[in-house]
Amino acid sequence: MAADSMEIDDALYSRQRYVLGDTAMQKMAQSHVFLSGIGGLGVEIAKNIILAGVKALTVHDTKHCTKWDLGINFFIHEDDVTSQRNRAEATLPRIAELNPYVHVAASTVPLDETTDLSFLKHYQCVILTEVSLLLQKKINDFCHAQQPPIKFISADVYGVCSRLFCDFGDEFEVLDTTGEEPKEIFISNITQSNPGIVTCLENHPHRLETGQFLTFREVNGMSCLNGSTHQITVVSPYSFSIGDTSEMEPYLHGGIAVQVKTPKMCYFEQLEKQITNPLCLVPDFSKPEAPLQIHVAMLALNQFQENFGRGPNIGCLQDAEEMLKIAISISETLENKPQVNGDVVKWLSRTAKGFLPPLAAAVGGVASQEVLKAVTGKFSPLQQWLYIDVLDIVTPLEKMGSEEFVPRGDRYDALRACIGDSLCQKLHDLNVFLVGCGAIGCEMLKNFALLGVGTGQDKGLVTITDPDLIEKSNLNRQFLFRPHHIQKPKSYTAAEATLNINPYIKIDSDINKVCPATENTYSDEFYTKQDVIVTALDNVEARRYIDSRCVANLRPLIDSGTMGTKGHTEVIVPHLTESYNSHRDPPEEEIPFCTLKSFPAAIEHTIQWARDKFESSFSHKPSLFNKFWQTYPSAEEVLQRIKSGESLEGCFHVIKTLSRRPRSWTQCVELARVKFEKYFSHKALQLLHSFPLDTRLKDGSLFWQSPKRPPFPVKFDFNDPLHYGFIVSTAKLFATVYCVPFTEKDLSEETILGIISSVKVPEFRPSNKVVQTDETARKPDHIPVSSEDERNAIFQLEKSILSNEALETDLQMKPISFEKDDDSNGHIDFVTAASNLRAKMYNIEPADRFKTKRIAGKIIPAIATATAAVSGLVALELIKVVGGYPADAYKNCFLNLAIPIMVFTETAEVRRTEIRNGISFTIWDRWTIYGKEDFTLLDFINAVREKYGIEPTMVVQGVKMLYVPVMPGHIKRLKLTMQKLVKPSADKKYVDLTVSFAPETDGEEDLPGPPVRYYFVQEDN
């Protein structure tokens, strides 16, 4: 993003623009940031804020690269260690590559108590990592005292504990606290009272909070509300009060209340004051006391370092005892005198010299978002401390000897100091399947490389797959990719980049989609070889499928996802937790067919209408046209067949398309002009013919009232850019699908005006077509063709053949696939113009191209900060899965960095289903029956009864019912062999069946059972 012109490079930043908005993006592109300490946490923060697009970043460090750094800083390589380069200088070229718009500089001068801090006045935000608490206080005081204050952030990761602190000055104005779209509420009633109660449409809860502000528009009757702003008090999920309306005119109908975003002032205290009385975010509500306990432990660590000029030694119990004494005395000096947690202090002391890269990724993601808040005023800042610990990783390691944690002189020493050598070895020997190499996938591979996953000498492999190619918009958060990688496969490129971080990692990369069609590659045998599956996907359907494969093969799965600043992680462990499919989100609300077709009430409806028009005109119809002429190769043959009374599916629409086919650029423009009239004038006139403005319903209320908006025809005006834009984009798309060439000259205003001024636009003739008004009605699959239409088709086809307009080249079209990210193809231009013209016709607020692109392209807003945080949390859970930890150690997380909140919860314990007589099962149970070649269905049923003590009354394979006694002919099936019933493919050794059992009392539902895996022959084992 060139800060001088303030142009935003949409091809690069589009997904992030939807998170931050243009105002924040432009503020960010003018900001200078200083970051001290480019260790494992500093490099995470640097990566994220460079990807985001600040104007300039200075990275400061005085240390030299050591072997230790290879395991914590993913941009330090072995040759940097050999040549003992300064960490900032070694990292600089690699972080600078992440974003060409950001100016990155390195500083290696000492920063200590004697430094003149006036150089910091050049920066809007200062971030400190690996800096002593004394120096942190001094720099914080300096930053706080400036006018305006320099925003101050300090962050550290010591072993199993981390802290983050923010001070943005005495007063800091937040322009948008949440980043959520302002809510629009359709009104059904407003009382004439004090206070006036506003009720919204039924089944549409307002989801507002007391104290928020709303403005009103389009209210009929109580019209003095229009344009006014009111603070609301929530009365119920469907109503709220707005103050005195008793003197206003009575409410008649309609009206929309729109949420008004109001700036909020946040107040910060300096570090010195906050140390004694900290204001902390609580991430785990099961441990509300934890943040204060870690606060005391970390202050004790700082004091220990000051007292002894060193940190506590790895695993040293004596140092831990000393630190505990310091913690107890520090606790007495704090305002709330918090209780000291001996375990927290002990583990912090034992691991403080170590470093957990995934914890740095999680904290680094949160800290980077705070930097962006500091320089933009977008989203609510952290007030003022965040402490995250991973004691649940180390608590089970209590009994390990101290030799487990001591350095071995390799790149994993920092990690080993936290989790011990045995767990490090298990990570090296791990077989992991990572599905998806997008934003989370890239971050996960970096975490794997730092943890040494898949680097074992004899064991261990990382298998990755992703069918996608790299696009420019990926570079904003998929940090393993560079501009020269565009249009290369994500998986191969990511694998190569990961080897730069850790040359010892073994990666097998594929470009397959993981779905039923690739089950030969990702077979049960493949899953059984994996120790854990990690998904980095962007859709629910793929997650559900992979979850079902993990459950069938008893494999642990760690899932995660982000949407803007929101993120989640979920751990699924065989026999301990529920699976992903155990809970289902409510399906997305579909826009009713009649709303899309005739009664739009919001811009989303007109955008979806335009998107559907694109699909039907430029993709669906051309595809059907081609398919028809591939089935019936000549027009003469088709004419003969329909003359002889044959009914050829789709022939009426195909012949209509052929007879109206534009054959020149002029005809494409004429067709676009006729479509304009049909869509934006005739449609309105027809609706007003069917339902005049004074139409009333049976109950006497007006037909045209909120949310129904009456349409008004749009009169074509060549000088209106919206009208002109529709004609040009539509004509270009018609020219593409009908293979009509056009030149730059054809696109000139002069040429198009010349064509349009001579177009004969058909007059409106009202029809008696029934307009669908039922919101539950679905789009009809087939519109019946009348006999008159059929006669017309014969006439039109004869005419085309006689005019030599049904030749082989005429029987082909070029379908277009909608592509949102190519600005030169005109797809978004068409959707924006068509949507906004329809919005104008219905008096709906239009949307700019940017918003239209997000909605039409179903773009998921994304930002590197949330991705990094989520992937760090996933890697922490991976360590627990590898260690075979008990159920209570695992944590799921939901976070929203905008607010900010981070909530850790325990995983849901797996449910056990009782059948009867003490027989029960969970989703992780699978019964097995071994058969032989002549094994019948009756043999199978008897085998289940003998082995498991209960007789199945029903056997199902997928959706195919093999045996349901009440179904005719099914009793005879008992004598059939399983081979004949199931018809397995040659290489299939078994089949998964579902059985159910008779209920205990008649009339009740059958009792479900677990899956039964039936092997066709006894396995040799």
Q: What sign results for the dihedral spanned by CA atoms 468, 100, 851, 369?
A: positive
User: How far is Cα 201 from Cα 207, in angstroms, rounded to an integer?
Assistant: 13
User: How far is Cα 425 from Cα 684, in angstroms, rounded to an integer?
Assistant: 71
**588 contact partners, CB below 8 Å, separation of at least 6:** none
Give the CA distances from residue 589 to residues 204, 403, 585, 762, 836, in Å, rounded to whole numbers and listed in that order. 12, 58, 12, 38, 23
Task: Please give the structure tokens belonging to residue 759.
Answer: 């177009």
User: How far is Cα 318 from Cα 323, in angstroms, rounded to an integer?
Assistant: 9
User: How far is Cα 549 from Cα 555, in angstroms, rounded to an integer?
Assistant: 8
Q: Work out whether strand 566-572 and strand 891-896 pair parallel, antiparallel, or are unpaired.
A: antiparallel
* Percent helix, percent strand, percent coil in the chain, to nearest 5: 40, 20, 40
Task: Please give the structure tokens belonging to residue 457.
Answer: 């000498």
Residue among 57, 56, 58, 50 at smallest CA distance from 12: 50
Residues 454, 506 contacting (CB under 8 angstroms): yes
Residues 831, 679 contacting (CB under 8 angstroms): no
Task: Please give the structure tokens belonging to residue 101.
Answer: 């718009």
Residue among 952, 949, 954, 947 at smallest CA distance from 931: 947
Residues 880, 159 contacting (CB under 8 angstroms): no
Q: Can you tell me whether residue 58 is helix, strand or coil?
A: strand
Q: How does DSSP assign 619-640, residue by residue?
A: IIHHHHHHHHHHHS--HHHHHH
Q: Which residues pair with 668 in a beta bridge?
A: none
User: How far is Cα 969 from Cα 510, in angstroms, rounded to an integer?
Assistant: 47
Residues 152, 60 contacting (CB under 8 angstroms): no
User: How far is Cα 166 from Cα 838, in angstroms, rounded to an integer?
Assistant: 48
User: How far is Cα 340 from Cα 978, in angstroms, rounded to an integer?
Assistant: 66
Q: How does DSSP assign 424-493, residue by residue?
A: HHHHHT-EEEEE--SHHHHHHHHHHHHHTTT--SSS-EEEEE--PBP-GGGGGT-TT--GGGTTSBHHHH
User: How far is Cα 866 from Cα 627, in angstroms, rounded to an integer?
Assistant: 45
866: left (phi over 0), alpha (psi -120 to 50) or beta: alpha
User: How far is Cα 388 from Cα 359, in angstroms, rounded to an integer?
Assistant: 8
Please name the amino acid found at residue 377: G
Q: Which residues pair with 862 in a beta bridge?
A: 564
Would you name the residues annotated as active-site residues? 594
Task: Please give the structure tokens belonging to residue 820.
Answer: 């949102």
Residues 41, 155 contacting (CB under 8 angstroms): yes
Residues 711, 689 contacting (CB under 8 angstroms): no
User: How far is Cα 562 from Cα 18, in angstroms, rounded to an integer?
Assistant: 13
Give the CA distances from residue 49 to residues 10, 11, 96, 105, 757, in Å, rounded to whole numbers and listed in that order. 18, 18, 11, 14, 54
Task: Please give the structure tokens belonging to residue 573.
Answer: 């462990």
For residue 49, give the H/E element and its range: helix 40-52
User: How far is Cα 446 from Cα 444, in angstroms, rounded to an integer?
Assistant: 5
Please name the amino acid found at residue 623: S
**757 contact partners, CB below 8 Å, separation of at least 6:** none
